[in-house]
Amino acid sequence: MANIRASSTARTGLDTTVADAPPAIVFDRVGVVYGRGRKAAWALVDFNLRVAAGETVALLGPSGSGKSTALNALAGFVRPSTGAVRLAGRDVTDLSPARRGIGVVLQSYALFPHMRVADNVAFGLTSHRVPRGEIASRVTEALDMVGMSHFGTRLPRELSGGQQQRVAIARALAIRPRVLLLDEPLAALDAQLRQSMLTELQRLKESLPDTAMLYVTHDQGEALALADRIVVMNDARLMDVGTAKDLWARPPTSFTAAFLGGANLVPCTVGRVIGTSALVSVAHQTLGAEAPQPAVGKVDWAPGSAALLCIRPHTIKVVGLGDRDALRARVNASVWRGASTRLVVSVHGLPDQLLDVDVPGAATYAVGTEIGLRFPEPAGVLVATT
Ligand code: ADP
Ligand code: MG
């Protein structure tokens, strides 16, 4: 035993007890079916994910894509039809929710309306066998973490929505969970409050360096602000997983390209490829493109093959019609968004393709105006068509 430990430590340079620790969260081929017989529908299919202690992973996807189902399968609110969920190496698939030791925060807060804030937060501590004498200090500690220590004697209805959500978070934290699950915790708040709660959640995350967090949201801004890694969900499946930066810079699928950050996906034909640079043709024009190294098992960028060129709206410049290399375009719509204006344009020579272009400030282009466009160099990144 001692020998194995010594050699393993030498190999990794890490304490083996840390290096070999099982992930805080494991989804192992989890599938969930709702309903029976002809009404049976898979809400989650072959879902695999590992989350390390201290890591925050966002499940990001449109409504109905299976995010809450995945979270509920881990929390124990939904029984997986296939596969298993493990916490710190222990299979908890058959364990009741209360015995999993997970902190859960839901969009609806789910506070007990007749119980005062402190009692709401204390709920769960007794079932987690926290000694009676310790409960008051644990409640204070949890309320402190969310800045609500002065509200212990209030009833939930005497609090604003944001304050109620803080209490719900405090209640989840009171059991000092190793795993914290949050399902659209900010979705019921107005935009300004959402922004300040997001900043507080970032701070909370910093103060819980050993806690694994799974954060369900349909809002990419929340995922970008909080997550170490993002899981993009679509249609009951995990589409892509990676750091926000990687998914944004090199989207593995057109779905992720469009869902994360918004993208123009222009059909193109791949020409010459050298390393990670390619030339592509779009509407008889040759453009430079970034050609990311394909992941193992994925298609290569073969010359002559069809692909999508992902061009981010803010990288396209509006130039004079007479400028060299200017593409001729026509403004179809113009929407001011405060810091920028979103133009929707049709480009001469690109039939059936509307492009989104974001120009800084309040740009005033009447619908029908002809403008020049210039793509950046490289114009964008290649994304596989399927
Ligand atoms: P998301 O959280 O991404 O919006 P959900 O996981 O809640 O998605 O839902 C995934 C799919 O499963 C949806 O089609 C939804 O209608 C369905 N669904 C969710 N919960 C139930 C349920 N309790 N019974 C039947 N169908 C459900
Ligand atoms: Mg949901």
Q: Are residues 249 and 314 in the same domain?
A: no
What totals of helices (H) and strands (E) does the chain contain, helices first?
10, 20
How do strand 354-360 and strand 340-347 relate by DSSP bridges?
A: antiparallel
Q: Are residues 241 and 272 in the same domain?
A: no
Q: Are residues 271 and 319 in the same domain?
A: yes
Q: Are residues 369 and 272 in the same domain?
A: yes
Judge whether 376 lies within some domain: yes
Give the range of the structural domain holding residue 268, as residue numbers without chain letter.
Answer: 263-383
How many Cα atoms within 13 Å fall on the side-chain side of residue 142?
29
Residue identified by tokens 């001011």 is 336
Q: Are residues 232 and 278 in the same domain?
A: no
How confident is residue 1, by pLDDT bands cut at 50, 70 and 90?
A: very low
- Token digits for 355? 């492009």
Q: Answer whether 68 contacts ligand 1 (Cβ < 6 A).
A: yes
Judge whether 310 lies within some domain: yes
Q: Are residues 83 and 226 in the same domain?
A: yes
**How far is it, in rounded angstroms, from Cα 124 to Cα 175?**
7
Looking at residue 295, its pLDDT comes to: 62
Looking at residue 349, its pLDDT comes to: 86
Looking at residue 8, its pLDDT comes to: 39
**How far is it, in rounded angstroms, from Cα 168 to Cα 107?**
10
334 backbone dihedrals φ, ψ, rounded to 5°: -145, 120
Helix residue ranges, H only, the chain:
2-12, 16-19, 67-75, 117-122, 132-145, 161-174, 191-207, 220-226, 244-249, 254-259
Looking at residue 10, its pLDDT comes to: 41
Q: How many domains does the chain have?
A: 2
The pLDDT tens digits for 230-268 are 999 999 999 999 999 999 999 999 999 999 988 999 999
**CATH number where 319 lies:** 2.40.50.140
Report residue 83 CA to chain centroid gap: 23
**Nearest atom in ligand 1 to 65's CA:** 3
Share of the chain above pLDDT 90, in %: 77
Which bound ligand lies closest to the C-alpha atom of 62? Answer: 1
Judge whether 147 lies within some domain: no
How do strand 370-374 and strand 317-319 relate by DSSP bridges?
A: antiparallel
Cα(122) to centroid of ligand 2, in Å?
27
**How far is it, in rounded angstroms, from Cα 281 to Cα 242?**
29
Most informative mutation of 68, 77, 218 for ligand 1 (most atoms within 8 A of CB) = 68
Q: Are residues 248 and 276 in the same domain?
A: no
Q: Are residues 279 and 210 in the same domain?
A: no
**Nearest atom in ligand 1 to 69's CA:** 6
Q: Answer whether 61 contacts ligand 1 (Cβ < 6 A).
A: yes
The residue out of 201, 232, 254 marking a domain boundary is 254
Looking at residue 297, its pLDDT comes to: 60
pTM (predicted TM-score) = 0.88
Most informative mutation of 34, 108, 184 for ligand 1 (most atoms within 8 A of CB) = 34
Other Cβ atoms within 10 Å of 134 Cβ, number: 11
The pLDDT tens digits for 49-71 are 999 999 999 999 999 999 999 99
- Alpha-carbon torsion 384, 294, 29, 260, what sign? negative
Judge whether 111 lies within some domain: no
Q: Which residue has the higher pLDDT, 362 or 279?
A: 279
195 contacts: CB under 8 Å, gap ≥ 6: none
Q: Are residues 215 and 314 in the same domain?
A: no
**CATH number where 230 lies:** 3.40.50.300
97 backbone dihedrals φ, ψ, rounded to 5°: -55, -45
The residue out of 236, 254, 272 marking a domain boundary is 254
**Nearest atom in ligand 1 to 59's CA:** 3
**Nearest atom in ligand 1 to 236's CA:** 10
Q: Answer whether 69 contacts ligand 1 (Cβ < 6 A).
A: yes
**Nearest atom in ligand 1 to 66's CA:** 6
The pLDDT tens digits for 294-336 are 665 666 799 999 999 999 999 999 999 989 888 999 999 999 9
Which bound ligand lies closest to the C-alpha atom of 59? Answer: 1
Q: Whose CA is nearest to atom 24 of ligand 1?
A: 34
Looking at residue 351, its pLDDT comes to: 81
Residue 178 gets which letter from DSSP?
S
Of 202, 253, 198, 209, nearest to 231 by C-alpha is 253
Q: Are residues 226 and 280 in the same domain?
A: no
**How far is it, in rounded angstroms, from Cα 125 to Cα 321?**
68
**How far is it, in rounded angstroms, from Cα 94 to Cα 209?**
28
Q: Are residues 365 and 286 in the same domain?
A: yes
The pLDDT tens digits for 180-223 are 999 999 998 888 888 989 999 999 999 999 999 999 999 999 99
Judge whether 354 lies within some domain: yes
Q: Answer whether 66 contacts ligand 1 (Cβ < 6 A).
A: yes
